[in-house]
Structure formats: structure tokens, C-alpha cells
Structure 1
Amino acid sequence: MGSDFPLPRTLLSEDVETLLAGATAELGREYRVLREIVEGGAAAVAVLDTRLRYVYVNPHMARIVGVPAEDQLGRTLAEVIPGVERPEEVPQAVLRDGRPRDVLIAGHMGAGTSRTPREWHSTYHRLQNERGEIVGLVAIGVEVTEPRRYLNELERAHGRMAMLHAATLRIGTTLDLETTCQELVDFVVRDLADGASVELVVENEPVRSPRAPSAGVMRMRRAAVSARPELAVRLGGLAGPDDVNDHGPTSPMRRCLERGRPFVTSLPSRARPRGPYAERLALYRAAGIHSTLVVPLRTDSRSVGVLAMVRAGSSPAFTAEDAVVAQELAGRASHAMERAQRYTREHTMALELQRALLSEPTLPHPDLETASRYLPADDSAVVGGDWYDSLALPQGRNLLVIGDVMGHGVEAAVAMSHYRSMLRALASSGMPLHEMLAAADRMVAGSGFERVATCLLALGDPATDTVSYANAGHLPPLRILPDGRVELVPLPAGPPLGTGMGVYETVSRPGVPGGVLLLYTDGLVERRGEDIDVSLHRLTELRLPPGGGLDEILDGILAHAATGSARDDIALLAARTRGV
């Protein structure tokens, strides 16, 4: 490829006037212009021989590198700037085939304390003399440190936005608090940490802890934990989910929560841990954990808890940028957790209210046997407004009532109690069934109460051995015959209660000697995507034990309901005449 320093060094010398003494004026002007471009521009220009040693560097490159031009001549880039990153195969390939190539050069450049990380985009061109011999390379570089930094920051920003968008889709998919906490820790372990836990502040919720809270401590319950498999094995001795820990004033979790800011710390690799948390810190260090990040979980109104994350082994330590991302992630998760906590409180309140109201229907006459069931929906839906009742009336008659308030939650449970009390008062007046429903319809509509309800009344009269019915938009009752067969009792149905326009009808049907009359709410039969007539027909295909106890019959009916995908509450009321 040529000998060492084959380029005519006089062409690169400072003695321009001597060099051009015999040249034409036009050639001199061209040379001076070209030299000004090479040495006065903002690009770094260097000429290398075939062994990639510098033959010439322009002043701009000397300033960048922090090494005078004369000290670079005869040396390679690696010798001038140790540790610089540049693929050596690229200039060698240009020497071989003559095709220009681009390369990115990165490393710390500058002199003394001013050395800073910089990046350069360089292009290599092959040089040949007049005989076509390869004599070296020329490299022209432009600094791209700031544009590259901007692009890197932009890429990181896009990555953060993508991660936060994914978090919105994956955290808070249910209204269950424990599930939401687990979704959060599983997500951060996948994208941000090697291990994570959610610690919730214990307020009024009961906890399983043998210790009474100490004075001046904050009690937190570990609601969820997640870790990469290798770290999980090493952390086997640490507390698991549902464990309760007391946090004193020096606890990082407590300080993070009280200050409302992320808390980043590195665990010392050699110093012996001291203080109240020395044992836990020693376990962390033994597991290879070297960096922790604690982020507060706060809503607009209160503190929920903290998200604690760790990194171990070869993972890099947490940075301030990680803390910003984690805080944004925690903010979004906090609102999902608050919704779940609020739902849990409301669901528990509504369920307890409904159970209290449905604890037992009023005792009927001694000649009537009754049994009832209430089964909340199994898909975590909010409790509904289903209710039932049985009332003993004069002349040995018994009134069975079942209804379903539209909607869910505490309001539906409260509305159910209003309907139940109103129908009890109307029943004591002695008016016919259809007039009871009409009066209830007018009273609800006139009060401005917005919760409509379906309702079915069944009045048994032992003197005539008949059952009279009046229906406000409810499903028809079932007759369970003594031989175990099941059949529907077809009835005319008026509009639900609360419309103010209800016209109802009382119809009488024969009694069920030795059989059972069953009233139920729509959760027993309704299935998503299935016609109600199909569901009712399937119910009539049941074969129940003849003469079995009412509780046994209700258990069999609920077992049938469990084979489907019930998405609403189920209320059942069964009645049978005694001594038949």
C-alpha cells in the first residue's frame, strides 16, 4: 500500500510562500482558499498514512482532542486519545476498496479537567498519488454531541411515554385493591426494577399482626410484592404479602411519604449496617441489592402508601430520571388504588346493609314453611338491590314479595329498603294486590325517587287453596311439583314500579299442594348473549328431589346457576304449605 509517510509533507507545512514561489498567481490563490477551508472551518480534518498514523491534523481537531498538532503526528488515534471508541475495521476497509465510509467516534476529549464526553460523525476517504498508489486516508469529522444527546433524550422520552401508556392499560384493570397493587409491582419489575413492593398505610382496616402499634410509628401493610426469579430466591427470608411493619421516623418509606418526594439511596457495599433497620439492610446487601427507590403513592386528598423498588447485581443504580418516571407511574397507579379502596368500602357497606335487611323475612303463619337465599354476583360487580319478604296477613293468608331495584351500590341497597318498607305498609291496609302495586308506583314517582324496581307479589289463601299474583315487570314464578318437575306460572306483567303510569292486574292460580312456590330475581337465569326465554326454559328442565327440604331444593337451584356465568345478584324465596 505504500511506504511510511509517503505524502509530500511540504504540502502541509507552514511555509506556504516558499512553497508557492514558483507557482502561478492563480494556483497560489486556490491553495490559500483551500487551506483556509481546511484550517479555518468548524470541521475536524486529519490525514492518515496507511498504518492509520496522523500525518496532518488541522487546528480545530487539535483543539477538540486537547493535544497539540505536532504531538499527534506519527501516532494513531488510540495513542493520542486512549479509550476512544472507534471501529478500526472501517478505515481498514476504506483502504482496501476505496469506498468512503461513515463512522461514529465517541470518547472523552479535551485537556486536563475540561475533558468531556463527545461524539463525532466522521467520513473516511482513500488517498492515492499520481501513480495510483494508495498513500493513506483523509478523515473529516463534525461534532454531533448535542444533536445525539437531544435524540437520545427524545428516544428516552418516547420510551417513558410508551411505558406510562402501557401502565394505564395494565394497572387498575379491576376494582380490586390487591389486584391493582399486584399489577403495579409486576409492571415495574418488568420495566423499571429488579424487585418491588407496595406498602399501604394502615388506617382503620383490620390487619393480621400479633403486635400492637408502638407509639410514634407509622404502620404499613405489604399489599403486593414481585421480583425477578433470581432475586426472589435470594430474598426468601424477607416479609411477604400481608405482613405488617412499623416504620419509625428514620424509615426511608416514612420519610418519603411524609415529604411527598421520591427517595433514592445506594446501599454501602462494605460498611456494616447500623440502626433499627440494620438486619433488613444486611439481608438486602446479601441478596446483591445496591440501589433503592421509594416513591409516594398519593392522591389529591390523602396518602395511600409507597412503592418501593430495588436494583441488584449488574443493574445500574437508580437515577433522578428513574425517580421522575416512577413518580409519574405512581401518580397514575394511586388514583386506580383509590378507586379500588373506595369501591371496596362502598361494596362492603352495601353488602352489609343488604344482608342486614335480608337477614330473615318476616315470620309467616305457622302453616307456611319458607326458605331464602341471597348470592352476590361472582364477578366483583357492585352489590345490587335485590330483596324478598314474607308477611303474615289476617285469615291465615301469607304474602310473598320479591323485587329488584335497578342499578347497583349503596344507593340501590337504600332504595331497596324503601321499597320493602312501603310494601309492608301497603300490605297492612288490606287492599288488593294490583292496587298495592299501583299505589307503590304512584308514591315512588311522586317522590322524585329515580330508582325503578321490578316486583312480584304472591298471596296464598288456604281457605280457597289458591295463590293470587300481581306482577310489576318481574320474571314469572316457578312451581316445583311434588314429583320434582319444574314449571313456570305464566302471568301478565305491568311496568316496573316508579314510572307513575303502572296499570296492574291480580290473577289467581291453583295452589301447589305438596309442592313448592319459588320466587327469584333475574340473576338466576339471565346470561349475556342468551335470550331470556331460552334461560327460563332451561330452568324448567331441572329435576329436583321430590319432597326434599327447602334448603336442599335451593342449594340445587343455585348449583344450576353456578354452571353458567352469573353476572348479577341472585335472590330466592321458596314457600311450601306445611302438613300436606
Structure 2
Amino acid sequence: MAASDTMLGAGAKKSPALFVVDVMGTVIGWTAPAEELTGYRSEEIVGRSGRLLLMPGRTNLWSGRLHDQERWHGLAELRHRDGDRLLVRVEGARLATRLAGQAWLLSAVPADEDLSGKTGSLLESLINSFPVAMAIWDRDLRCVWRNAEAERLTEGFPYYRIGQSMADQIPGTDSSNLLEVMRRVLKDGVPIIDRESRWTSADQNEERMLSSSISRLDGVDGRPLGVCTLVLDITDSRARDRLHLLREASIRVGTTLDVRRTAQELAELAVPALADFVCVDLGESVLPDTTPLQRLATEPEPVRIPAFRRAGLASVHEGVPEARWHLNDAVFIRQASPFSHVVATGRTHYEPVIDFSPGSWLDHDPERAGLMRATGMHTLLIMPLKARGDVLGVTVFARTDNKEPFTRDDLMLAEELAARAALSLDNARRYTRERNTALALQRDLLPRVLSGGDALEVASRYLPSDVHEGVGGDWFDVIRLPDGGVALVVGDVTGHGINAAATMGRMRTAVRTLAYMGLRPHEVLTHLDQLIVRLAEEDDSPTDPTVATCLYALYDPATRRCLISRAGHPPPALLLPSGEVTFPDIPGGTPIGVGLGSFESLELELEPGTVLALYTDGLIETREDDLEAGMHRLGVALAAAPPPLERLCASVISSMLGGTPAEDDIALLVARTR
């Protein structure tokens, strides 16, 4: 296996390699994807030191300075069984096992899969939309990845070939200066930004000015893994301005998943840098929260005309006198116009000098022609906002005060900005649609009425995330059993969106079925873990394996005893009648779907009036606070909450969030013994 092939990987998207090591660094759990990634079979690695997976001289990733963290992630360099390097993105999460005690659950994915788009992300299309040659070089300064722009430069700059080292001598080229700079960045970690250099072709017939930026790539252990280079041709001074505008676009366009905000960001970015007037008009499918737009009829025969709504508008003139329609107005386009042609064909209308002469398209739109003449509009670009084959709307670039007509370079820049904005708009559209669908699905799957019967008084709250990907897989349930007992369940499926909500529904159904079989809590979790693993093995789809946390409590009102077991889930909180809040020390167990360990139950006796609070980690974990700090805040909030359970839920949620948006889904289930 060649080193470059090992680094880059090949084939379709695969499941991440999952394995478990204890605190001493010994491998205690191994999966088939881990064997496929590293070449080590289970019998060769389980029970042996995890250092076998590391390149010589690398720090143990799951000990040392990472040992005090609950979760971590980053780049790492593993070793294949045949000795080749594996550049991977690794994630670690602490877990507790019955036999080995504290341990690490680790997930590794070849790093290039994120860069090449094999994970299903949009990173590849974004990277290849830049007119910048990007490449990644390992510690030996061999090229291990490049984007499309760098590939196009291979003929003139052969070091962009995969596996080619900057230290190799190639006739007709001189890379000594760049090699020295890259070695310095690799050694001291200080990035080089916008370093200008001159490149001359081997035949001395071509000379170009280049702007290079070089930064070091560090692994999760803090040691360097290589460098990343970005090179832009700035021979033409316009290229520098173009780069600046594209840099601004990466910061200012698509900052939220709001389509109107994104449209306005595009308009404001392009004025006055590219145009004096910009408007952005979007179709109904991109604005799902608006009422259907009307359709007009043309004369002499009735023909339905596509209608848009104005979502973005900017001008160098106060009051935007160039605009015939303003923000949120319905916009109609005539059939015999460049606008209809752009929508129908998906191709840009480029008019460097607007034609006002008789017989032009403006003859059919005298009102628009008069407005354009009055405001001095003289050059025009009308381009589609197109993403994944769909035309989402149109955007117009025009100049009035700037007397220079649009050039072909301006056209290319405008198209790049429009393509970037269209991708952000489509992401926002898909996000909104999926979030609304997932919310509706989850509301249908979650219990609508909770009842603890004569045994328990219950109340609950569910809050979808206001950031990231929206609704996720948090769920809860109260199950009244035939023998008079009551089961309380809270779970959290990894991921967000429709898949997470659907998986949550399947798990809730499975838990109900297992509960009615009269099983004890740890038996319920064991069967649930085996079921999810078996379903994942039978599923041929290339989705990530299902992993979830769960807490199951079984309360017997006759004895006031409560059996509780958890699978990687935060422990419950007990609010005693005295006002004291405690968190029972229940064995943690491994997450559901890993299939690595068994679970244990803890028995508690609950005096009358005790409140049992079950919750997901979204309630207690933030960017600033870890789980322990969050549990402390939860204890304070519970102790200060009013007695009625509905008011208690509202008070706890308000205290924990403090008026800030929820960073993750939140499920809260409280029960008071009668």
C-alpha cells in the first residue's frame, strides 16, 4: 500500500472506525471498521497497548494531557498494520465500563474524506469554487491532497502531484525558497500570510506573481502533522481585489440559515465593490413562510408568469431609486425578457452596454426602461441563483455612477458570488424544510399526554435547538405497567434532523415493548443495545451507526423503591422533600449501539414527595461549562424552583438557559412520588 493511498483513502463513504481503550491505553474494544482502517484484526490488537496504533514518537492520544477531558477531537496520525501513516480525524469520549472502569470510546475517520466530500459534506464544492490552489503536505512535505485549482497548475508547478515532495529536485524548477519557508512553518508553527513570490516557467517564457499563505496542521496531541498551502495568482492587480471580495464573502454571506438575511448579505457585499445597485429576488420554494405569490396574465392570451419576492436590496444611493420593487414586495417578470430567459435556461444575461434602441427587450417593458434611464443605469448583469440544479431566484447587478461597463472578469466574479450565495440559500431552504418536517415528526413521536397514575405526578418539557442543525433525537416517556409500576425513560440519539427523529421513534417503541415484558432496567438497556447493533448490521445504507444514551427508571409505588440504570447518560437528580438535591452515583454504562458492555441497576427508596428529574445533556452542557458544572447549576435551579411540577419545569429551563438560545436539544422529565 502506497503512503499516498493510505493517506488519501479510496472508495465510497464508510462507517467510522470505533474502538475502546482503557485509561492505561490498552485496547479493550474493536470493531470491523477499525480493522478495515488499520489492518489489525481483533485478536491482534485487543488486550494490547494502543501504542501499536501510533507512529513512533507520537504521544498517547488517550492519556496524558487529554486524560482530564470528557470529550475531545482533532487530527491524529495513526499507523497501519503495514507501517504506513494514516492521517485521521479522531474523536474521543469518556465512558465507564463495568469491568475496565473508566475508558475512552474513540472514533476515527480518514481526514481526507472530509476534504474530498466523501462524508457528504459540501466542503469539496466550496473549496473548488475558490480561484485558489490549495494543497496539504505531510511532515516530509509530500503532497497528500490538492484541490481542482492546484491540479490545473500541475504542469507548471509539478510539486502539486500526489506523493511529490518539495525536497525532490525537478529539472527546470527551483523550490528552495518555498521549501525553506514550509520547513520553518512546520518547525515553529507561525503561519505565513500573503507572501508574494515570483514564478518563472521552465522555458522562461512566462512569469507570474503569486500570493502564498502557509499554516501548520497540528494533531490532537499538539504535535505537527504537516502544512497547508494556499496560492493565488495575483499577476493582474484585479486578482487581489477579487481575492479580498471572496474573503469578505466567506465571512459575510451565509452567516445564518435565514434566506432573507443571506440575500441581503449578498446585496450589501457587492455594493459598491462590484456594482452600484444589486437586488435579489427569490422564488416561493425558498421562502416557505410566505403566502403563495399571485400570478399575472399577459396579453393577448393568459399565460402564467413566474413570480418572485424581493429578499435583498442595496444601492450607493439613499432610498434605492433604481428599485421598482422593495423588500418583501412581490416581483413579476415579463415572458419576453432576459429575466424569463435566465430562469428558463439557468444562464446569465450579460449586457455590458444596455441597449435602449427600438426593438430591444426594453420595448416590452417601458416602465423599467424609463426607470433605468432616469437613474443612469448603463451596464447590466442578470444571473440565476442556482444550486444543485435548481434555480432559486435571480440577482441583478447594475452600475450607474461607475461609468465602467462590466467586464468578463466582473462577470466571473459576480457568478462566483452568486454561486456562493445560492449554495447558502439552498442550505437554508433545506434546513428550514427539514427542521419543520423533523419537528412535526418528533412532536408526533413524543408522548402527547403523560400520566403516572396513582403512583407519580409527572411533567415534562422539550426544547429543540435554536442553533446548529435544529431538532435532534432527544426523547422521554412515561410507561404505566400492568403490575402497577411506572417506567420513566429519557434518551438522546446522536445527530440532528429527520434521521435522528425517526431513530428516536424506533427506540421509544422498542423500550415500550421491552418494558411491558417486565424486565429490570439493566436488562431493558442490554436488550436495547443488542437490538440497535443488530439493526445497524442489517442496514445496508451508508449512514453512520446509531449511537444513543439512555436512562431507564422503574418505580414500584407499593414499596416506594426505584431501580435505575443508565447507558452513557447523565445521572438523574433527586429533589428531596427537605429541599436537598442529590445526584445518585449510578454506574454509567456504555452508550446504546456500541455493543461493548453490560449495564447495572441501582435501587433507591423514594420517600413521599420526592421529585425525580431526568434530563438530556443539552440542559446542563454548554461551551463554557462541562457536565459537572452544569449538574451543579441544575441542583441550584431545582432547589429554588416552585413546587408545582409545571412551574418547576418552566423555572428550571429558564434558570439553566438564562435567556440564551439552546445550543442542543433539551428534554426534561420530572416525577413526584405521591
Normalising by structure 2, report the TM-score.
Answer: 0.58
1:81-160 map, 5 Å: 154-160=236-242
Corresponding position: 1:208 with 2:284: no
Deviations 1:25-65, CA, capped at 9 Å, x for gaps:
xxxxxxxxxxxxxxxxxxxxxxxxxxxxxxxxxxxxxxxxx
Q: CA-to-partner distance for each residue in 1:305-342, whole Å, 9 max, x for gaps?
A: 21112222354343444323312332333233333322
Q: Hey, what's the Cα distance between the residues in 2 that align with 1:352 and 1:575?
A: 26
Distance of 1:529 and 1:206 partners within structure 2: 34
Where 1:234 maps in the other structure, the secondary structure is coil
CA spacing shift, 1:515–1:197, aligned 2, 3 Å: farther
- Counterpart CA distance in 2 for 1:219 and 1:359 is 41
Find the aligned partners of 1:461 and 1:396 in 2 and give their Cα distance.
7
- Does the CA contact (< 8 Å) of 1:358 and 1:388 recur in 2? yes
Q: Deviations over 1:537-560 (max 9, x none)?
A: 122122556763222111111111
Q: Is it true that 1:405 corresponds to 2:501 in the alignment?
A: no
- How many Å separate the matches in 2 of 1:561 and 1:542? 7
Letter in 2 for 1:312: T
* CA displacement 1:4-36 (0-9 Å, x = unmatched): xxxxxxxxxxxxxxxxxxxxxxxxxxxxxxxxx
Match of 1:494 among 560, 583, 589: 589
1:284, CA displacement in angstroms? 4.7
Percentage of matched positions with identical amino acids? 37
Aligned partner of 1:324: which letter?
A: M
Given the alignment, which residue of 555, 572, 575 partners 2:668? 572
Aligned to 1:240: 326
- Number of positions where the alignment pairs a residue of Structure 1 with one of Structure 2: 427
| Cα distance per residue 1:389-438 (max 9 Å; x no partner) | 11111232111100001222222212111111110110111111111111
Note if contact 2:465-2:666 (Cα within 8 Å) is conserved in structure 1. Answer: yes
Name the SS for the 2:319 alignment partner.
helix
Residue 246 of structure 2: aligned partner: 164
Of 436, 450, 457, which residue of structure 1 is paired with 2:552? 457
Q: Which residue does the alignment assign to 2:568?
A: 473
Q: 1:234: how far off?
A: 3.5
Aligned with 1:440: secondary structure? helix
Separation (CA, whole Å) in 2 of partners of 1:468 and 1:392: 15
**Which residue in 2 is equivalent to 1:375?**
463
The separation in 1 between residues aligned to 2:608 and 2:449, in whole angstroms, is 22
Offset of 1:267 from its aligned partner? 6.1
Alignment CA distance shift 1:347-1:565 (3 Å): closer
Residues 1:551 and 2:637 aligned together: no
The answer on whether the counterparts of 2:581 and 2:638 sit within 8 Å (CA) in structure 1 is yes
**Which one of 347, 355, 370 corresponds to residue 435 of structure 2?**
347
**Aligned residues of 2:548 and 2:591 also touching (Cα < 8 A):** yes
Distance, in Å, in 1 between the alignment partners of 2:366 and 2:603 is 79
Pair 543,520 (structure 1): closer, same or farther in 2 beyond 3 Å: closer
Q: 1:208 to 1:387 in 2, by over 3 A?
A: same
Equivalence for 1:181: 263
Where does residue 536 of structure 2 map in the other structure?
Answer: 448
Residues 321 and 231 of structure 1: CA distance in aligned 2, closer, same or farther (over 3 Å): farther
| 1:540 partner amino acid | G
CA contact (8 A) 1:485 1:543 kept: no
TM-score (norm 1): 0.66
Kept in 2, the 8 Å contact 1:483–1:546? The answer is no
SS at match of 1:198: strand
Q: Contact 2:380–2:399 at 8 Å: present in 1 too?
A: yes
The one of 621, 630, 636 equivalent to 1:541 is 636
3-state SS in 2 of match to 1:489: coil
State the Cα RMSD in Å: 3.2
Match of 2:122 in 1: none
For residue 339 of structure 2, what is the amino acid of its counterpart?
M
CA deviation vs aligned residue, 1:358-385 (integer Å, no higher than 9, x gap): 2525544254322211111222433221
Quick one: distance in 1 between partners of 2:420 and 2:551?
46
Matches within 5 A, 1:10-29: none
**Runs (5+) with no aligned partner, structure 1:** 1-146
Contact 1:297 1:303 in 2 (8 A): yes
Whole-Å separation in 1 of the counterparts to 2:483 and 2:416: 70
Q: 2:340 aligns with which of 240, 254, 267?
A: 254
Q: Secondary structure at the match of 1:365?
A: coil
For the residues of structure 1 that align with 2:672 and 2:370, how far apart are their CA atoms?
69
Q: In the alignment, does 2:445 pair up with 1:357? A: yes
Equivalent pair of 1:485/1:544 in contact (CA under 8 Å) = yes
The 1:309–1:547 alpha-carbon spacing in structure 2 relative to 1, beyond 3 Å, is closer
Question: How far is the alpha carbon of 1:269 from its aligned partner?
Answer: 8.5
Conserved in 2, the CA contact under 8 Å of 1:485 and 1:542? no
Letter paired with 1:232: G
- Secondary structure (helix, strand or coil) at the match of 1:573 reads strand
Return closer, same or farther for 1:166/1:542 CA change in 2, 3 Å cut-off: closer
Structure 1's 238 and 488: CA in aligned 2 closer, same or farther, altered over 3 A?
farther
Unaligned runs of 5+ in 2: 1-206, 208-232, 298-302, 538-544
Distance (Å, rounded) in 2 between the aligned partners of 1:300 and 1:473:
39
User: Hey, which of these two has a bigger chunk of helix by percent?
Assistant: 1
Structure with larger Rg: 1
- 2:285–2:392 contact (8 Å) kept in structure 1: no
Change (3 A) 1:334 1:481: same
Counterpart CA distance in 2 for 1:483 and 1:196 is 65
- Once the two structures are superposed, the pairs formed by residues 269-280 of structure 1 within 5 Å of their partners are 277-280=365-368
Closer, same or farther: CA 546–447 of 1 in aligned 2, 3 Å: closer
